Amino acid sequence: MFFTAYTVAALVLRVGFGWVPDRVGPKRALFPSLLCLALGFFALAAAGSDRDVIVAGVLCGIGHGYAFPILFGLVVDRTPVLNRGMAMAVYTALFDLGVLTGGPFFGYWIERGGFSFMFVTAAALTLAGTLVFWFWDRRALRALRVAGRR
């Protein structure tokens, strides 16, 4: 049920509403999508019914449905043309690395505290990563603007 809801939400979002990040700006769409992803993990941690799992799937589908292509677009837009192929390869490889290492990492937290604890950990890491990116990106963009003025 979770993955069906996740997939349907992500497909509907990308096909029907893929224009939103272009219209409002990728970063304005990115942060709410990452918040949806974190809320989906929190919803899984608290899920007590099939309906709760479906809601969590929709939230995670919305979150990842926008976050993955928006971040990919930021990588492409911010990389010099000669290095774009390498940057895209690194971006997708990091996703694969996350899949490879995520199982053992989150499995450890399941053994320590159970599934709810693991999903809360995933939500907290998502929020922490969002905050780190927000602060880092603001500084990086400011540095680019300053360098461009010289």
Q: For the whole model, what pTM was predicted?
A: 0.87
What are the structural domains, with CATH classification, of the chain? 2-149 (1.20.1250.20)
Neighbours of 141 (CB within 10 A): 12
Q: What is the pLDDT of residues 24-54, one digit of tens each?
A: 999 899 999 999 999 999 999 999 999 999 9
Q: How far apart are CA 63 and CA 143, in angstroms?
A: 29
Q: How far apart are CA 105 and CA 112, in angstroms?
A: 11
**Cα separations (Å) of 92 from 29, 55, 110?**
21, 27, 26
Q: How far apart are CA 101 and CA 72, in angstroms?
A: 21
> Span 128-147, mean pLDDT?
79
State residue 136's pLDDT score: 86
Task: Please provide the average confidence, as pLDDT, over all residues in the chain.
Answer: 93
Question: Which residue carries 């709760």 as its tokens?
Answer: 52
Q: How far apart are CA 88 and CA 115, in angstroms?
A: 33
Neighbours of 13 (CB within 10 A): 21
Residue 135 belongs to what H/E stretch?
helix 115-149
State residue 148's pLDDT score: 61
Query: Which of 14, 15, 64 has its CA nearest to residue 39?
Result: 64
Q: What is the pLDDT of residues 82-115, one digit of tens each?
A: 999 999 999 999 999 999 999 999 999 999 999 9
